[in-house]
Amino acid sequence: MSNDKAALEQQVREVLSSARDAMTLSDRLFSPQGLFNQIASSAAERRELASSSLFKDSLRRLSELQRAEADEFARNIGDLGDSAAPCRFAKLERS
Q: What is the pLDDT of residues 35-45, one digit of tens each?
A: 999 999 899 99
Looking at residue 75, its pLDDT comes to 85
Q: What is the pTM of this model?
A: 0.77
Looking at residue 54, its pLDDT comes to 98
Listed in sequence order, the residues at least 6 apart from 28 whose beta carbon sits closer than 8 Å to its beta carbon are: 15, 19, 34, 35
Q: pLDDT grade, residue 76 (50/70/90)?
A: confident
Looking at residue 78, its pLDDT comes to 78
User: By the 8 A CB rule, do 69 and 21 touch?
Assistant: yes
Q: Is the pLDDT of residue 83 over 60?
A: no
Looking at residue 81, its pLDDT comes to 63
